[in-house]
Homo-oligomer: A and B are copies of this chain.
């Protein structure tokens, strides 16, 4: 039996790129969606485009009380500040969820700040674009993407089920469940480290002429080098220990390959390339993304 019937009302807090994508997808499915965000301009745009039903730049008591499910699409520290300031406005029985890219540093604190009867179940939609703002929202980015529910021991089975159902309603390809520590380790490797690599690669060479001769590989590796420095620096530092660990592992492997080239050690080099090829082939097999 579905838990999120059409009577459920959503409130999006933070109508940026991802908040806008959530609103779009939910409206298309027939849900009532309101929003609270910083700029009146974004509210007006979203209402005029039918992305939300209504919105406000103030933390509107009525909007908050009216919501059955509130989605927070804010930076980690802003999310915590919001709950500290306005948490008491949230009515009992409301489910809170979020889109934050790091979990350990916020989930436990948010849960401890909430009054009894209000439950926060964290989620991470693994989708994004290299542009920001509700004007760039496009819910089709969820289509081939992963959605991860990130419960703690405090979460109820019911809330976890609701959060999984939300991932399906939004149109994600795969919905899975991880605890905050596993999530942060995984995200440090798959997402944060890859952004570190793209940034480093772009900063390593200041010859603008080189790009005239590029093939696909450089283009692919630096697509994500176009990065929101305000958001990502906060995400990196919010997940500092896990990220440092993954950076070290990767750096050691890169150094191993460097030594192969330096010492003309073709056999060891080929053995690394074969491991790489096997793992990537396994990856393709699982995802059929060839």
Contact = CB atoms under 8 A, between A and B. Distances in A.
A277 B225 contact: yes
Interface string A169-181: 0000010101000
Given A203-B276, A218-B191, A282-B208, A213 B289 contact: no
Interface residues of A, number: 94
Nearest to A214: B190
A222 to B, nearest CB: 6
Nearest to A211: B283
Interface string A221-255: 11111110110111011001001101111111111
Interface stretch (A31-39, A63-71, A194-202): A194-202
A286 B211 contact: yes
Given A227-B276, A251-B258, A280-B226, A217 B200 contact: no
Contacts of A283: 211, 222
Interface string A248-281: 1111111111100110101001101111110111
Contacts of A226: 276-277, 280-281, 284
Nearest to A124: B213
A222 B281 CA distance: 10
Contacts of A146: 212-215
Q: How many copies does the complex hold?
A: 2
A186 interface: yes
A104 interface: no
B279 A202 contact: yes
Contact of A202 (B214, B258, B275): B275
Nearest to A249: B204
Given A221-B221, A227-B277, A250 B200 contact: yes
A183 B255 CA distance: 25
A148 to B, nearest CB: 6
Contacts of A276: 198-199, 202-203, 225-227
A8 interface: no
A156 B217 CA distance: 32
B215 A176 contact: no
A189 interface: yes
